[in-house]
Amino acid sequence: MRSAPSPIALLCASLTLAAGSALAAPAAPSASSPAPGAHANYEHATFAMGCFWSAQSAFEDRPGVISVTSGYTGGTKVNPTYEEVSTGTTGHFEAIEIVYDPAKTSFAKLLDVFWHNVDPTQGDGQFCDRAPEYRSIVFYHDDAQRDAAQRTMREMAPELKVKKPMVTQILPAGPFYAAEDYHQHFAKKNPGYYHEYREGCGRDARLMQLWGKLDAHAPVAE
């Protein structure tokens, strides 16, 4: 049974709905496809980090990152919509799929970004977004990614300023469905909405408690 949303969570939900209705009618999602210009040497990383607006913004414009797509994974329904995933009944998680060039960055570097942008001690969601679809998860695409995720999880534990168990899951990757167009690159296209959401959700304040610093790549309100 899902707990009653907090006032901040209701604010975040209202911002999401307002942004969606104000910007565009959502297009039907589709299974992910290779990024333009993708070739055989590019690799994929898939992470769930709570709200996919924040997850996408954490990785965009990083060296070696070719593309970052917000979407849904881990569930049973084909081509789920945002509204369906938000009910908590499809089994999907809000997630991002990253296409990256391993000659210019590494999965280990992407994992470092992942860990410093989540609360790995929170099992009921992420920050103010508390529901199963907002859990933090590393979805591995091969054994090497699985082993790297498990190793870095052990290595990151001593860095945590909050001494609680890390409950981030490490699961095999499955089908990934791109979210509706109005969710893509949301922080860049709608900085006002996004920064109101990020501040209201307490994301940066909690990250400071956890890690003692913020990711230098974190977006700053103008």
pLDDT at residue 22 greater than cutoff 80: no
Identify the CATH number of the domain in which residue 74 sits. Answer: 3.30.1060.10
Provide the pLDDT for residue 216: 76
Catalytic annotation present for 51 = yes
In this structure, of 27-41, 125-139, 168-182, the range with the lowest mean pLDDT score is 27-41
Question: Does a structural domain hold residue 87?
Answer: yes
Provide the pLDDT for residue 58: 97
Q: Are strands 65-73 and 136-140 parallel, antiparallel or unpaired?
A: unpaired
| Domains identified in the chain, total number | 1
pLDDT at residue 83 greater than cutoff 90: yes
Question: Does a structural domain hold residue 30?
Answer: no
Mean pLDDT computed over 6-33: 47
Provide the pLDDT for residue 215: 86
Question: Does a structural domain hold residue 120?
Answer: yes
Instruction: Give residue-wise pLDDT tens across range 23-75.
Output: 444 444 445 444 444 567 999 999 999 999 999 999 999 999 999 999 999 99
Question: Does a structural domain hold residue 62?
Answer: yes
